Amino acid sequence: MTAAAPGRVLDAVAFTGNGLVVVAGVAFTYYAARNYALDRLEAHRDFWGYLTYVGIALALFGGCGVAEVVGVGGRIVVACRDLALLFGIVFVSFSLREVYYASALAPGPGERAVSLPTLRAIEFGFVVVIAVEWVAVVFVGGGATTGILRGCVAIAFAAYGVVFSERLEGLAHGTAVDTLRRHLVFVLVAATGVAVVDVLALGLPGAAADSARYVFVVLLAGFVVPPTIRLQQSVAGVT
């Protein structure tokens, strides 16, 4: 019996991992959107909205990954994949920020150094920068500089989200929002891991970089499942 070529094994792992991300992302999107539609608490609407965007971004990331494996799309697909991953990281961080500012631990509107609307406007500016970077990659092509920049942006937004998550440690443990927050941190770490490996790939052998990347892709798919279940339970609780 002939052993499978290493390249084919990696392709199989990549196809499976990205396919799982698509399925998990679609399910996550569905239940986040259902929570958005059913939850009548105004303070939670932005939170559910950001989670819906997270699911869409992850599903697009996985879909582009599958397309890349089967050889469809070329540079545009790779650029879309990277953009979707960054937006997934960004929206997870924004959702954690929303949880913090909707909690009792957040300072009052008059005590904040930067108001929430101003903070959202600043964040939107960074999102525009990411979109511009994507356009540049599509028309000019990626390189070491854009790869490093993308990795730095991913790490910065991940740290931003983790900071807000850590501030929420004082909340009652075991609540629905607390459980969901903890699951989202794992999603954030796995997604950032994919972005960081893409940067490290600039100095690693191709097979080693691909193997490390696909490990994080599979982890990402697995880490999306628990918050999806929690979102499903939340929907069941309000219907």
- What tens digit of pLDDT does each residue of 83-102 get? 999 999 999 999 999 888 88
Q: What is the pLDDT of residue 1?
A: 43
- 127 within a domain of the structure (yes/no): yes
What is the pLDDT averaged over residues 97-110? 79
Residue 158: which CATH number?
Answer: 1.20.1070.10
Q: Note the helical H segments in the chain.
A: 6-38, 42-69, 75-101, 116-140, 144-167, 176-200, 206-238
What is the pLDDT averaged over residues 64-90? 89
How many domains, in total, are found in the chain?
1
- 7 within a domain of the structure (yes/no): no
- 119 within a domain of the structure (yes/no): yes
φ, ψ of residue 54 to 5 degrees: the values are -60, -50
136: its two tokens:
């540049």
Q: Using a CB cutoff of 8 Å and minimum separation of 24, what contacts does 145-149 make?
A: 147/198, 147/199, 147/201, 147/202, 148/199, 148/202
What is the pLDDT averaged over residues 185-214? 85
- 1 within a domain of the structure (yes/no): no
Q: What is the pLDDT of residue 7?
A: 66
Q: What is the mean pLDDT of the chain?
A: 85
What share of the chain has pLDDT > 90, as a percent?
40
pLDDT digits (tens, 9 = 90+) for 146-186: 778 888 889 999 999 998 888 887 665 666 777 888 999 99
- 3 within a domain of the structure (yes/no): no
Q: Which domain holds residue 48?
A: 13-238
Q: pTM score, two decimals?
A: 0.89
